[in-house]
Amino acid sequence: MTATTLPSLAIARRLPNLWDLVAVVVVFGALIGGLHVAQGTLVPIDTPGATEVSLDPSHLPEYAVRTTLRMFAALFASLLFTFTYGTAAAKSRRLGLVLVPVLDILQSVPILGFLTFTVVFFMRLFPGNVLGLEFAAIFAIFTSQAWNMAFSLYQSLRTVPADLAEASVSFHLTAWQRFWRLEVPFAVPGLVWNTMMSMSGGWFFVVASEAVSVGDNTWKLPGIGSYVAMALEQRDIAAVLYAILAMLVVILLYDQLLFRPLVAWSARFRFETTASSTASDPWMLRLLRRTRLLALGGHTVGRTLSAVGGMRLSFGLPRSATRLSPGKSRAVDVLCLVVLALAVGWAVWRLTSFAATELTWADLGQALLLGLITLVRVAVLMVLASLIWVPIGVWLGLRPVWARRAQPVAQFLAAFPANLLFPPFVLFIVHFQLDPDIWLTPLMVLGTQWYILFNVVAGAAAFPGDLREAATNFRIGGLLWWRKVMVPGIFTYYVTGAITASGGSWNAAIVAEVASWGDTKLTAHGLGAYIAAATDKGDMPRVVLGVAVMSAFVILFNRLLWHPLYAYAQRRLTLT
Amino acid sequence: MDAAVESLVRVSHCRQAYHKEANTDLVVLDDVNLSLREGEIVALLGRSGSGKSTLLRIVSGLLRPTAGEVLWRGRRLDGPADGVAMVFQSFALFPWLTVQENVELGLEARGVARAERERRAEGAIDLIGLGGFESAYPKELSGGMRQRVGLARALVVHPDLLLMDEPFSALDVLTAETLRTDLIDLWSDGRLPVKSVLMVTHNIEEAVLMCDRILVFSSNPGRVASELTVPFPHPRNRLNPEFRQMVDDIYALMTRRPKPEPRALTAEPVSPMATALPSRVGTNLISGLLETLAGEPYHGRADLPALAGALQYEADELLPLAEALQMLQLAVTEEGDIQITETGRRFVEAETDERKRIFAEALRTHVPLVRMIRQVLDERWNHRASAVRFREELEDHMSPDYADDTLRTVIGWGRYAELFSYDEEAEQFSLEDIA
């Protein structure tokens, strides 16, 4: 960029290289694939083949592309949601009063239960068109991705370092500039991490959302999810394996092509004052940096975006000095509270009148009882998973070589939709005539236990060497070592993992307490099965009741157990 | 009228108070007047918590004073002033921006075109000795280099007034000295693109070394206790006897007890909750200082600046310690000297248990808060009392931060003296384990 570069050298540097060729192929391939899929979404719903799925593996690549595009569409929607909702919640004190608790609840509501109704809604929006189904599927995936991303942005915006905030005011940055120069960069590492988690969570919903039945009609949107559903219906174990393989490839591809480079890139925004040793760049990032055409394009895009972020838009927001005594805004506060109280009152009235006509106290009692059964399941699973994965995680984490190998594997396993692994379990249970109430239970934790593992690995890897040496020096071993040395040391990490795992298990209950293989349908007693059954029957009041009770259980579980544990760990067991 | 035109900034009768639920307001700054002329470097010198940083933020427009007026070039200041740039104690660099981008930030905010921006940033970077580091990220730099970026970022906007908030206190001694002399050299050569500098510091020598005028602040509430003019030409020599004398004088100023409120123990008009205790003054520091004072070469009496130099303490670290000794009557300070008392000497000569007894006696006699906590504990049937209640009472008289510091100091002292024990989880004082 300096004027000292010789012209001849500059020309030589602009010549495309071999990497450019690769890049061109990749870019155009993706474009053509995308166009093909876009055509498929606009046809009427009764077009032959529009909502049919074939088990022929040769169709899998196309299905994989369609499913992936759905996921990215949902991701895009989640990002839009994140930047509007999260920003509003953080920037406006009054909106935050409502938006933050709502988000907290949304996080714990098992949206899976509402799938049928969202499908009906979107079908009415686009009558007779596949687009309605597409939107319904994308919306379902969106609901599994958006909340934690929005929460991450909200939390970052609320914890912007005070000195940087002061610096940006004193250098006269406008609200717009401040947002893009300070707040968003500060939020990037957390957001990238949560986006990755969301993408993993989304797979679980893909399988559930691509094949939907409303009443007597069943629609299958071409995609990996519906392929799996079809395979399960037709008892085709080979097809299930093909689907698993296709999914592996897709996950591997976007992990390598997108998320690895993103994570490496986002390390620059990590707020730390000392340089930490960083791992070498992933190959994709190196490719992007070395490919001249792509690098040039990226540079131009980056400069344009940077210019947009640097624009001096102010939106008339006051950038004046902080005032210390909020005086006149009291009246507005009161007004807001009154409006809020009225809205809540109306909602309560609507809910009670709705429930009174459709439900009885017995229904509530039944739902609560089933909720308790599911609660016992979740609790037992968490204990079992902890007993298994904590020792393994510690063993791995204390050996740096193994920790480095285990970490990506565990993350990958967490991303893998566990519902694909249900068929072997069902076969196993049917073959040995086992009790579904007990043997369906492990399915709930199949996909979520990995969060415990990789958090424990991270915790053990971060355990200070001098403390370990001290423990060895004083000959602390056996149970004492676990009780006084290791468990307190990794506890914060463990709780973080366990919160995610237990939340995920609740959500999985809806799918895991009912599993089918062809005509064989195994049902366990529990709130998940209750919701699933009500959904099948299109019994809206009971779905709402089931989901509400489950949300209440999740929230209570979080508030009464995990939050206090986490607060305790933060206060007492954080190594600083 | 003339003065108003001449001065860059004029602060008159400025008061900053935090509103409390009770009727009492927490006054951080009280009736502060300040005027800055072009061509001078002025220091705001005082102990931490004397409100000097608050005043700096008021001058910069980051904070609006509760009462009083700030005039910037004769006009009322409303929001961050143009022509003011700030250097932060913590550097406040954006870790995701390179050195160049950090420096350009202020220009970008003003809508300066890219080419012009790059040219001016280059100029500031070269001026401040950062050439070659343009594309580095802050985390790759040492503390000294980071603060140079902070300086370049402030200078590049060519501010009329440069504000510096303890700019060198996060740096090690050698690095800080290099930065100071570099800055003063640029200033003396007229190469700094600023008209005037206002800096906050708690380092007395730094103030005397760099500034033309020093405003010494007293604490609680913050007031300008005195104003001094430094008559020496640049470059200044720290070893010059006149320089030393001035440093000594300022120490004396800062250790002088406030004139009202003579410490009469019998008639106490103020509540036991109204006295803030110095933070981070542990019992080890107290014993250490007493032992040093009693031993060679001081034999019971030491010159504070000399003692600070020998212990490699800054005034800000030594003064709270001296104040604590004074409060406990283990030593007395006067005119920049510290003198051990009879009790202090007994303490030094005693063994651990006897030391604890002496300390406990001193606490009970001279620290009303300790006396009160112990009294409450003795009266309760279960000998337990919540710390929350004491904190709330303290907060009626001081800021939450001070209340916290005070409580923490009291807990540390009381535990050492075995007057009470404290359960952090439950936030409770008790008499458990107390003989």
Mean pLDDT of chain A: 78
* Lowest model confidence (mean pLDDT) among A378-382, B335-339, B361-365: B335-339
Chain B nearest-CA residue for A319 = B79
Question: Looking at per-residue confidence, does A288 or A554 come out higher?
Answer: A554
Report pLDDT for A328: 56
Q: What gap in Å lies between CA A507 and CA A350, rounded to an integer?
A: 26
Cβ contact, residue pair B80, A270, below 8 Å: no
The answer to whether B85 contacts chain A (CB < 8 Å) is yes
What's the mean pLDDT in A335-350?
Answer: 82
State both tokens at B373.
């906590």
Whether the pLDDT of residue A324 is over 70: the answer is: no
B285 touches chain A (CB under 8 A): no
Q: Which of 493-512 (A) contact B at CB < 8 A?
A: none
Number of separate helices (H) and strands (E) present in chain B: 16, 16
Average confidence (pLDDT) over B307-315? 82
Summarize the confidence of residues A469-493 as an average pLDDT: 83
pLDDT at position A557 is: 85
B57 chain-A contacts, CB cut-off 8 A: 166
Rounded CA separation B19/B25 (Å): 5
Mean pLDDT of A508-530: 81
Residue B200 has pLDDT above 90, yes or no: yes
The pLDDT assigned to A425 comes to 79
* Pairwise pLDDT comparison (A273 vs A226), residue with the higher score: A226
Between helix A400-415 and helix A449-461 the angle, nearest 10°, is: 160
Q: Which of B25, B66, B96 to mutate to test the interface with A (most CBs of A within 10 A)?
A: B96
ipTM: 0.72
Calculate Rg over the CA atoms of chain A. 26
Report the chain A residue with the minimal C-alpha distance to residue B25: A325
Q: What is the DSSP string of A18-72?
A: HHHHHHHHHHHHHHHHHHHHHHHHTSBTTSTTTT-----GGGHHHHHHHHHHHHH
* A567 part of contact set with chain B, CB < 8 Å: no
- In A175-312, the DSSP E strands lie at 211-214, 217-220
- Provide the pLDDT for residue A21: 65
Confidence of residue A53 (pLDDT cuts 50, 70, 90): confident
Q: Tell me the pLDDT of chain B averaged across its residues.
A: 85
Percent of chain A with pLDDT over 90: 6
Instruction: Tell me if residue A234 falls in helix, strand or coil.
Output: coil
Q: How many whole angstroms separate alpha carbon B129 and alpha carbon B189?
A: 15
Name the nearest CA neighbour of B354 among B340, B343, B364, B366: B343
Kindly report whether the global pTM for this prediction surpasses the value 0.80. no
The answer to whether the CB atoms of A275 and B140 lie below 8 A apart is yes
Region A25-53: what's the mean pLDDT?
64
**B79 CA to chain A: closest CA distance, Å?**
4
Does residue B192 surpass a pLDDT of 50? yes
Residues of A in contact with B425 (CB under 8 A): 572
Least confident of A278-287, A353-362, B346-355: A278-287
Q: What is the mean pLDDT of residues B235-242?
A: 89
Query: What are the angstrom distances between the C-alpha of A520 and each of A329, A422, A426, A427, A528?
Result: 63, 13, 9, 9, 18
- The reply to whether residue A172 touches residue B78, judged by beta carbons under 8 angstroms, is no
| CA-based nearest distance A485→chain B, Å | 20
- Structural contact between residues A101 and A551, judged by C-beta atoms closer than 8 angstroms: no
Per-residue pLDDT, averaged over A296-316, amounts to 68
A350-362: average pLDDT: 77
User: pLDDT value at position A196?
Assistant: 82
With an 8 Å Cβ cutoff, are A181 and B90 in contact?
no
Q: Return the top range by mean pLDDT from A440-444, B216-220, B287-291.
A: B287-291
A192 touches chain B (CB under 8 A): no
Q: What are phi and psi of B386, to 5 degrees?
A: -75, 140
Q: Please report, to the nearest 10 degrees, the dihedral formed by the alpha carbons of residues A449, A452, A456, A459 taken in order.
A: 150
Segment A81-90 mean pLDDT: 91
Indicate whether B77 pLDDT > 90.
Answer: no
More confident residue, A49 or B79: B79
Q: Rounded to an integer, what distance in angstroms lies between the CA atom of residue A367 and that of residue A3?
A: 73
Cα(A330)–Cα(B55) distance, integer angstroms: 28
The Cα-based distances of A12 to A5, A6, A7, B283 in angstroms read 11, 10, 9, 71
| Ranges A387-391, A468-472, B296-300: which has the least confidence | A468-472
Please indicate whether, in this complex, the C-beta atoms of A268 and B137 are within 8 angstroms of each other: yes
Residues 6+ apart with CB under 8 A from A155: A190
A369 — pLDDT class (breaks 50, 70, 90): very high
Burial class of residue A343 (count of CB atoms within 10 Å of its CB; 0-12, 13-18, 19+): exposed
- Return the residue of A nearest to B104 by Cα: A171
Give the whole-angstrom CA distance, residue A36 versus residue B247.
Answer: 80
Residue type present at position B352: T
The answer to whether B79 faces chain A, any CB pair under 8 Å, is yes
Find the farthest-apart pair of alpha carbons in chain A and give their distance in angstroms, rounded: 85
Asked if the C-beta of B153 comes within 8 angstroms of chain A's C-beta atoms, the answer is: yes
Are A171 and B62 in contact (CB < 8 Å)?
no
pLDDT of B152 above 90: yes
* Domains contained in chain A, CATH given: 18-272+279-316 (1.10.3720.10), 343-572 (1.10.3720.10)
The percentage of residues in chain B with a pLDDT greater than 90, rounded to a whole number, is 32
CB nearest A181 (choices: B66, B94, B110): B94
Which residues of chain B have a CB within 8 Å of the CB of A164? 92, 94
Beta-carbon contacts of residue B176 (< 8 Å; ≥ 6 apart): B144, B168, B169, B206
pLDDT (tens digit per residue) in B341-399: 999 999 999 999 999 999 999 999 998 899 989 999 999 888 888 988 888 888 877 77
What's the pLDDT score for residue B149? 93
Give the span between the Cα atoms of B203 and B33, in whole angstroms: 22
Residue type, B156: V
Predicted pLDDT of residue A380: 92
Interface check for B315 against chain A (CB to CB < 8 A): the answer is no
The answer to whether B300 faces chain A, any CB pair under 8 Å, is no
Shortest CA gap A157–chain B (Å)? 15
| B185–A contact, CB cutoff 8 A | no
Helix, strand, coil % over all residues of chain B, rounded to 5: 45, 20, 35
Q: How does residue A24 score in pLDDT terms, banded at 50, 70 and 90? A: low
